[in-house]
Structure formats: C-alpha cells, structure tokens
Chain A
Amino acid sequence: MPWVSTTRYSFVKKRCLKLPKDHYIKSYCHIQENSVFLNGQPVFENGSSDFSTFIKSAYKHLETDYPKFFKMDNLSKLAFLAADLLLQHEKTTPEKEENIAIVLSNKASSLDTDRKYQRSIQDKDNFYPSPGVFVYTLPNICIGEISIKYKLYSENSFFIFDNFNPVYLSDYCDNLLQNRKADKVLCGWVDIDKEQYKAFLYIIDDEGPILHNTEELNQLF
C-alpha cells in the first residue's frame, strides 16, 4: 500500500539539498482495489463493485466534469482519471500550455479493449465493428486523451513491460528532463485486463518531496 512516513520524508528532503541536479517526485497517485489515493492518502473508496461502476463513481466523487470520459475505454478511463487527479492537484490547466511529457507503461497493452473489439466482429450474425471501440485498440490512445484535455503537445511514449520497470522509466524520464525536451514528466503504470487493474502515476519535476530514483519508485509502487 502506498505510504510515506514522516521520517523518510525528512530524510529525503535533506538529500534534496545535497543533490540539486537530481529530479524529484512532486506528487503521485494510485488507483487500485476500488480505491483512489493521492500522495498515499485515500481520497475515494467504493467497496464492492466492478471496474466500470467503480471508475464512474470515482469520476463523480472527484467532480471531474469531462463528458468525453464516458466515451473512453477502460484503460483510458483509468489513466485519464489518475492523470487528471494529479494534474488538478498540481494546478495544471490547458491555458498554461506547460511542457509536460507523458511516459506511461503497462503489461496488458490494450488487450482488454482488443478482446471487446474481437467479440464485436466474431459473431457472423451480429457483426458490428464499431469505430468508437476500434480507436481504443492501441494502448497509447490514453496518452492522447490526457493530452487533449490538458493541451499537451509534448513528448510522449507508451512502453509495454512484463512488470513495472522503474529502471527503464527513470532513465528515460531523466533523459527527457536533462535534455530539456520537457520541463516535467507525467510518468507511471496503467494496466487493466479482465477486471484486474492498477494505476500508479507520478509527476517528476525539478523539486519535490521524494527523490526520483528506482528505489523510491519501487517503494511507492
């Protein structure tokens, strides 16, 4: 479970002062097991429900107010809601046009929606290849959904790994920041397949409470 103790927090802070060139995790969030956490603190919980019901209730609770949400597939809903929670928290608005790169990853790619699409064309008598479903048969469409809402014209990538891969992700993001390709990075893991889901997103910035490295990421994940 995501959680940061006060002692570790202050320890990290001291390290920040020593290593000004490092990057930091500004804030992070989790969506898993019918709960939403922001910086380790629970912000919403909906005990026993399936993903669709849960994510809809989370959307309502968080007062997201973005009707396009309802057209999205499950992966996009999960990624969008987690990103929206973080970006709202960071007071990001489309008007500011910030240079925030988006680097996401997962294991199941868009399989959840691929299967749904496959079912819609499998039955010869009930054949309906919906363009509305088809557009979501790529994992990085969820990056598009976040970009559209926040007007992010920035660098973006979606990686598919067997497991959460903080080594690769942190290298990639540090590189984007060091080469000034982006001022901040919205990074993390968004995975959903057959009702199993988990989102862990974080914002990497020049300053923040937690040092951006693989140990911290593993811990937070």
Chain B
Amino acid sequence: MNKGIAITGMGIISAIGNNVAENHASLINGRKGISRISKIDTIHKDAIMVGEIDFTNQELEGHLGLSPENNYCRTAMLGAIAAKQAVAEANIHDINAHKTGLVSATSVGGMDMTEKYFYDYIEQDTHRKYIEAHHAGDSTQKIAEQLGIEQSLVTTISTACSSAANSIMLGARLIKSGKLDRVIVGGADCLSKFTINGFKTLMILSDTYNTPFDENRKGLNLGEAAAFLVLESETLVKAGNKKVLSYLKGYGNANDAYHQTASSENGDGATLAMEKALRIANINPREIDYINAHGTATANNDLSEGRAFIRVFGENNVPDFSSTKAYTGHTLAAAGSIEAVYSILALQNNTIYPNLNFKTQMKEFQLRPQTELKEKELNTVLSNSLGFGGNCSTLIFSKNA
C-alpha cells in the first residue's frame, strides 16, 4: 500500500507566527522566535530561553470568543486556533457532513492551570473549574467542541516528542481502513513550569539559543505551539474536487529497546522508524529530497539522529537536512505537526529552510546541516520526531499521490 493520503488543510500557531503565512515568512527570513520567558514566573527565567507565543490567555480567549466561565487551558486554546485554521483552509463548512474525527496530541494538557491554581483549589472554589481541564483528553475534547465535531472518533495521543507525528499516522490509518472519511490530526502543547522543571532536571535545557547539529550544542529551548492538518479520503477529494496541499506518503513508528528516557546512541529507533516509513511509502532512500530533522540540539538526540541518517542513507548520500527547532524551540507533543506544516511548506515552495545557529561540525561524523535558505525542486520530504524512551516516528510527505 503506497498510495498517499491527501492533506487538504493546515493550521499553525507558534513562536514564529500565528498562522501558516506568518510562519512561512519567518522561516524564509531566518526570524527566530526564541526569547527570555515572559508569561511564566519561574525561578529559571534567567537560565533558559523559550519559544513563546505572544498572545496572553485573555487574548486567546478573546480570539475564540469564550465566555468568562470557560475552563480552557492554554493548550486547548492554542489547539483550537490551529485546528480551526486547518478546517477553514480545507474549505469544510459542515464538519458533520462526513465521518470526521479528531486525533490530537499533547504532553502537558491542562498542567499550566493545575500548577497555577493547585494550592488555591483547597482554599477556595474560584478556579476549581480547571481541575476538570487537567487531563490530556480534555484539551482534545475542547478542540472537538470548537470544531463542532459531534459523535465521532475523538482521541488523544501522548507519546512525548513523537506524539503529533503519531496522531498524523493514526489519522492516516483511520482513513486507509475506511473508519473515517476525513480526520483533523495534530498536536498542541503550551509552556508550563512542569515541562521547564522536568527538562531542567534532565539537564538538557540550553541557557542560550539552541544550535542543532553543532559540536558545541548546549541543549534545547522549549517552545509552545499547535498545528493541525486535515486528511481526507480519496473519495472525498474526488467528489469535492478538492485542492490537495500534499500527500502523506509514508509513516513509521518504532521503539529502540534501549532506555526509559534516552535514545540509543546509534539511533536504532530513528533508523527503524525511517526504514518503516520508506517501506510504507514504497520509495528508495535516494528519492528523499530534504529531511526536516528532529534536531533538538541536545547532545543525545543530534548524535543519535545523525548516526541514523548515515545508517539509512549512507555517509555520503545523506540528503539536505535541517532542524527548525532554532526557530520555534522544541514544542514537544506538537513538534511532529509543526514540522509537518513546515515540510509541506517546503514542498509547496521548493525551499529548504536553514538550520539556524550552526557553526561547528560535530566530530563524530561529517554531516553538515543546510545553513542557508536553499531553493531546489522538492518532491519528497521526510520528517522525524524522536521521543523519549526511543519512541521514534517518521513521516514522509510528497507532491504526488
């Protein structure tokens, strides 16, 4: 089975733009969204940099027209904004006209509100409404509610940094198996002390701009973002004579049986995931024109992922690659869909976005990311999302079905 699944809409909100056009403008102009943190009062504020979205929660509530009694966490609001953009681009007016599902990824869910009001809950009931917004599934339900999806498959995936890639993959499989006619897939994660402190404990946060695939990389910058795609069945695309942005051609998910959190040094999981995706797409590694790497700028990831590139493509045949994490920060559960949008933009514009902040080649191998904006005919793009515990996923997008 190698027929691609049509992508008919996409939406995004990230530190480098509030919609697809703004994100694209930032990508081609090398404008990164990394700064000191302003919206969360953390003791680590001088020790970290993040990719923050400008809007305050109040502004997001305004955009969505939510009543003051709402209990939307920031993840749900970001997700709803991106998902609505995707549905609008796909020109969907009656969402319940066909079997339409939602698969949304998140790692923090409503943790932002929980950590803000936790001690308050016991004392008074002002913010207790957020207790119900805590779990990951609630943000998905809120997004479904905003899209008006009634009685359909609505589900949440939380597999750390490969979450959104896995939700895109599940969506494609739901269409292939005929369970759904169309599905909105993607992920959302807001910044929270929970993630900042967690990653701080792992000692993988950089105190300056992250530098993917650089010998002197110091770790990642966390980011917040949401992005969604609309996947539609061949029948619906034909019947509606719909414009197809690109096709999801292949996907693969693997574990690397190595460690609870770290990825194996030799990139076993990433290698397996890329090989599986190439097999499903039924294409040769040589047909990959560009890789949007996971490239978090941690010591572990970039070494492991680079070695996996060499294993899959051969040391001298690794395609042009870059990580866009220097623009957005690592947006965790949303990363797979953020980078799916960037991969599709790359295809649409025949453009490879630069790997910012790269200076020194890593000593373990001869790989250099693409550091300048490059225009070239692109037909097939591979995107990696490598998660904790070696939960690794690869998506392959192409211009043609």
Which residues of A are in contact with B by a Cβ distance under 8 Å? 129, 131, 135, 141, 144, 147-148, 150-153, 156
Closest chain A residue to B389, Cβ basis: A144
The answer to whether A147 and B257 touch across the interface, beta carbons within 8 angstroms, is: yes
| Complexed CA–CA distance, A153 and B258 (Å) | 10
Is B52 an interface residue, CB under 8 A from the partner?
no
CB-CB under 8 A from A151, the residues of chain B are: 257
Interface membership of chain B positions 246-277, coded 1 if the CB is closer than 8 angstroms to chain A and 0 otherwise? 00000000111111110000001000100000
* 3 tightest A-B CB contacts, nearest first: A147-B257, A135-B260, A148-B257
Most buried by A among B201, B257, B260, B261: B257
Q: B residues within 8 A CB of A131?
A: 201-202
Instruction: Let me know if A152 and B257 touch, CB within 8 A.
Output: yes
Q: Within the complex, which residue of B255, B259, B389 is in contact with A153, where a contact is CB–CB below 8 Å? A: B255
Which chain B positions have C-beta within 8 A of A141? 260
A-B contact pairs, 19 of them (CB 8 A): A129-B201, A131-B201, A131-B202, A135-B261, A144-B255, A144-B257, A144-B389, A147-B255, A147-B257, A148-B258, A148-B259, A150-B257, A153-B254, A153-B255, A153-B256, A153-B257, A153-B268, A153-B272, A156-B255
Q: How many A-B pairs fall under 8 Å by CB?
A: 25
Distance in angstroms between the alpha carbons of A154 and B254 in the assembled complex: 8
* 18 more CB-based (< 8 A) A-B contacts, given A153-B254, A156-B255: A129-B201, A131-B201, A135-B260, A135-B261, A144-B257, A144-B260, A144-B389, A147-B255, A148-B257, A148-B258, A150-B257, A151-B257, A152-B257, A153-B255, A153-B256, A153-B257, A153-B268, A153-B272
A129 CA to B255 CA, complexed, in Å: 27
Could you tell me the distance in whole angstroms from the C-beta of B393 to the nearest C-beta in chain A? 14
- B254 to chain A: which residues have CB within 8 Å? 153
A131, B262: Cα distance in complex, Å: 13
Bound-state Cα–Cα, A153 to B261, Å: 16
How many Å from the CB of B19 to the closest CB on chain A? 36
Nearest CB of chain A from residue B185's CB, rounded to whole Å:
21
> In whole Å, how far is B162's beta carbon from the nearest beta carbon of chain A?
15
Interface residues of B (CB under 8 A from A): 201-202, 254-261, 268, 272, 389
What's the Cα separation between A131 and B259 when bound, in Å? 13
Q: Which A residues are in CB contact (< 8 Å) with B202?
A: 131
Closest to B258 in A: A148
Closest-by-CB residue of A relative to B256 is A153
List A contacts of B268 (CB < 8 A).
Answer: 153
Closest beta carbon of chain A to B280's beta carbon, Å: 14
Kindly report which residue of chain A lies nearest to residue B201, judged by CB atoms.
Answer: A131
Taking the nearest CB of chain A, how far is it from the CB of B370, in angstroms?
30
- What's the nearest-Cβ distance from chain A to residue B258, in Å? 6
Q: B254's closest neighbor in chain A, by CB?
A: A153
Taking the closest CB of chain B, its distance from the CB of A146, in whole angstroms, is: 9
Cα of A156 to Cα of B256 in the assembled complex, Å = 12
Chain A residues positioned under 8 Å from B259 (CB to CB): 148
Q: Which residues of A contact B272 (CB under 8 A)?
A: 153
- CB-CB under 8 A from A129, the residues of chain B are 201
Among B202, B260, B272, residue most surrounded by chain A Cβ atoms (within 10 Å): B260
- How near does chain B come to A68, taking the closest CB pair, in angstroms? 10
Task: Report the Cα distance A147→B260, complex, angstroms.
Answer: 11
Shortest C-beta distance, B308 to chain A (Å), equals 14
Q: Considering the complex, give the chain B residue whose CB is closest to the CB of A147.
A: B257
Give A150 to B258 CA distance when docked, in angstroms. Answer: 10
Chain A residues near B260: list those with CB within 8 A: 135, 141, 144
Q: Which residues of B contact A135 (CB under 8 A)?
A: 260-261
| Cα separation A152 to B257 with both chains bound (whole Å) | 6
CB distance from A148 to the nearest CB of B (A): 5
How distant is B43 from chain A, measured CB to nearest CB, in Å?
Answer: 14
> Closest approach, in angstroms, between the C-beta of B304 and any C-beta of chain A?
15
Q: How far is the CA of A156 from the CA of B254 in the complex (A)?
A: 10
User: How many Å lie between the Cα of A152 and that of B272 in the bound state?
Assistant: 12
Query: Which residues of chain A are near B261, meaning CB under 8 Å?
Result: 135
Q: Which residue of A lies closest to B264 (CB)?
A: A148
Q: From residue B63, how far is it (CB to closest CB) to chain A in Å?
A: 35
- Chain A residues within an 8 Å CB radius of B256: 153
A129: nearest chain-B partner, CB-CB: B201
* A141–B256 alpha-carbon span in the complex (Å): 13
Q: How far is the CA of A141 from the CA of B257 in the complex (A)?
A: 11
Q: Which residue of A lies closest to B197 (CB)?
A: A129
Q: In the bound complex, what is the Cα–Cα distance between A153 and B259 (angstroms)?
A: 12
Q: Report Cα–Cα, A9/B27, bound state, in Å.
A: 67
CA A148 – CA B259 in complex, angstroms?
7
Tell me how far the C-beta of A32 lies from the nearest C-beta in chain B, rounded to whole angstroms: 26
Q: How far is the CA of A104 from the CA of B317 in the complex (A)?
A: 41
Q: Which residues of B contact A144 (CB under 8 A)?
A: 255, 257, 260, 389
